[in-house]
Chains A and B, each alone.
Chain A
Amino acid sequence: MTLNAAITGVGMSDIGRKTGRPAMAHLAEAAKRALECAGLTKDDIDGISTYPGKADNSPGMSPLGTGEVRNALGLQTRWHSAVPDGPSQMAPLMVAAMAVATGQARHVLCFRALTESSSQTATQRASIPGAGRARLGGWYSYLVPANAMSASNWAGWMATRYFHEFGMTREHLGLVATGQRAFARHNPSAVMQAPLSMDDYLGARMISSPLGLFDCDVPIDGACVIIVSAADAARDCARAPLTIEAMGAALASQETWDQRTDLTTMGAHDSAADMWKRTDLKPADVDMLALYDGFSIFVPYWLEAFGFCGHGEAKDFIAEGNIGPGGRFPVNTGGGQLSGGRLHGFGLLHEACTQLWGNAGGRQVADAKTAVCGMGGGFISGSMLIRRD
C-alpha cells in the first residue's frame, strides 16, 4: 500500500569538521540545493518539519528549530512540527508524509542541522545527554549517572552480547567500516576519504569494547534538507518522484538501552517488520540500503531486522561481500556516517535518493530503483521503503 507521498528533492550543505559556520548558513545552503534539485521555489514550500527541534541537551546537537528556520527563510506554512519523541530521526519525514497525504501541505521541507564538531571542546563532548545539567531525569538518568555516558557504551554492550551469541568478531565490523570507506572515496562530500585498511581499523584505539574508533561515526557541522511532497504535486517536480512505498514505526520494548529482553535485537526489528506488512515488496526487490551506522554494530542489526539475512547470520552475510562495493545489497554507498559524517540519518536517506536518481557518480548502483532506509539504534527506530517508478 503506497502512501500518497514522495520525496522530490534533497540537498546537503558543504559539511565538515570545525567549520565555524553558523548552523543557519548550513541550513540555507542545504535548502537552496534541495529546492534546485526538486525544481521548486521558496514559495512552493508550505510545510516544515524537523527532528528533534531546537535542543541544547548536548553540544551542537540541534541548534535550529522550525521557528528559527521559518523566520530565517521567510516561509509561510500550512504545517509545521518538530518531533523529538517520534520513531527516530526519521520521524519528521514520516510526519511530513502524513501531512501531505492528508492535505495539510503540498511540499514539506524536512531538515536536520548539527554543529557538533564546532561545539566540541576539550571538556565538552558531543552526544553526552544532559551534559551540563545539575540533575538528570528520563531514560538516560539510569545510564549517564552510572557512568554509561556515551551511546558508544550502550552500543558496546549490545555488541558484546551479539559477539557472544553468534561468534561475530571485530573483523566483521571492520568489513563494515572499511567497505563504507571504500564507497566514501567516490563521494566528494564525505568527510573521511583517506584509505582505511583492516589493519588501520584493528589498530585504532578502543572506545568502548568491542567498539573502536572506526566503529563510531564522525561528529560534523552540516545540514541536510529532504522535501516530501504530495503525490500529485510531486509529478510537477524536476525529477522522478521517489514514492514512499511503506513506513514502519512499531516499538515493542521499553525506551531503554539495557532492558530489552534480547539485546541481540533492537527497535529496528519492530519497525522493520511493521514496514514489510504494508507492502508487497520483499527484501529481494531492494537495490541499495541506507542503514543507520552511528556505530558499525547497528548495520548487522538492521540487516537482520529488515530480513536480508536471518538472526545471527549477518556476520556471514557481510563476510560474503554482500554489502560493500560490488555487493548485491550495497549499504551506505556514500560512506555512511562512519565516513561521511553524522547527519543523524538524513545523510543516509540523501544518499539513497541520489542513487535512485542515478546521480551517484563512481559509486552508482546500476539502475537502482528501490531503496530501504532504517534510522536509529537501540530503542530508537524508523523504517522506510522508497521506489522510483
Chain B
Amino acid sequence: MRPLPELTPENTAFWTGGADGKLMIAFCADCNHAIHPPQLICPKCWSEAVESRPVPGTGTVYTYTVNHQPWAPGMQVPFTLAVVDLDGAPGVRVTAEVVGTDPESVAIGQTMRISFANIEDIWFPQWEKAQ
C-alpha cells in the first residue's frame, strides 16, 4: 500500500487542497517568499505570518526519472516521476508521478499541469502533460 504523509498544521493545505482542485503552496505574507516543503515560520525572515495560497498548478519539468522497480507490493511499473518547477512560486518544485501519458515520453522542459488523486484524507498531486 502507498504510504501516506501525516497531516500537520503546516502541510495540511498542500495535501488537501486538491479536494477543491487547488495546488496550495505556503508563502510568507511579509516577504512573499515561497516555502516548500511548507513550514510554520518563514525560513527567510522568520515571520510567523505564513499562509497557503493557490498557485496556477502548472509548471515545467526540471528533471524526471522512469521507475522500473516495484519497491512495494502491488506497485505498478514503469511510471515516471517528474520534478517540476512551479509557475507562480519561484524556487519551488513539486515532485509527483506523471499520469495519462507514455512514461518514456516525458522530457525536460515539457510544460505540465497538476491533477489530484485522492486516497483517504490526502489529495496527491500528479502531473499531466499540458498539451
User: Which residues of A are in contact with B by a Cβ distance under 8 Å?
Assistant: 123, 125, 128, 130, 133-137, 139, 141-150, 152-153, 156-161, 164, 205-211, 256, 258-259, 261, 263
Contact = CB atoms under 8 A, between A and B. Distances in A.
Nearest to B36: A259
Contact of A128 (B37, B71, B92, B122): B71
Contacts of B69: 150, 152, 207-208
B93 interface: yes
B3 to A, nearest CB: 5
A144 B97 CA distance: 11
A148 B2 CA distance: 10
A145 B65 contact: no
Nearest to A150: B71
Contacts of A130: 3
Given A146-B124, A161-B108, A259-B36, A208 B67 contact: yes
Contacts of A263: 62-63, 83
Given A128-B72, A148-B95, A150-B71, A156 B6 contact: no
Given A143-B95, A148-B95, A161-B108, A123 B73 contact: yes
B8 interface: yes
Contacts of A207: 67-69
The 3 A-B residue pairs whose C-beta atoms are closest, nearest first, are A156-B65, A161-B63, A135-B6
Nearest to B82: A157
Interface in B61-87: 62-69, 71-73, 75, 79, 81, 83
Contacts of B6: 135-137, 141
20 contacts: A130-B3, A136-B3, A141-B6, A143-B95, A145-B5, A145-B122, A146-B95, A146-B96, A146-B97, A147-B79, A149-B72, A152-B69, A207-B67, A207-B68, A208-B66, A209-B65, A209-B68, A259-B91, A259-B92, A263-B83
Given A123-B73, A125-B71, 13 more contacts: A128-B71, A135-B6, A153-B65, A156-B67, A158-B63, A159-B65, A161-B62, A207-B69, A208-B66, A208-B67, A208-B69, A259-B37, A259-B91
Interface string B94-131: 01110000000000100000000000001011000000
Interface of B: 2-6, 8, 11, 36-37, 62-69, 71-73, 75, 79, 81, 83, 91-93, 95-97, 108, 122, 124-125
Q: Which of B65, B68, B73, B93 has the most CB of A within 10 A?
A: B65
Contact of A153 (B3, B5, B62, B81): B81
B103 to A, nearest CB: 9
A153 B83 CA distance: 11
Contacts of B5: 135-137, 141-142, 145
Contacts of B36: 259
A143 B6 CA distance: 13
A186 B113 CA distance: 52
B4 A149 contact: no
Contacts of A153: 65, 67, 81
A353 B45 CA distance: 45
Contacts of A160: 63-65, 108
A135 B75 contact: no
A139 B37 contact: yes
A187 B71 CA distance: 31
B2 A157 contact: no
A157 B68 contact: no
Q: Which of B3, B4, B36, B81 has the most CB of A within 10 A?
A: B3
A205 B68 CA distance: 9
Contacts of A256: 37
Nearest to B107: A164
Nearest to B65: A156
Nearest to B67: A208
Nearest to A207: B69
Nearest to B104: A209
B65 A149 contact: no
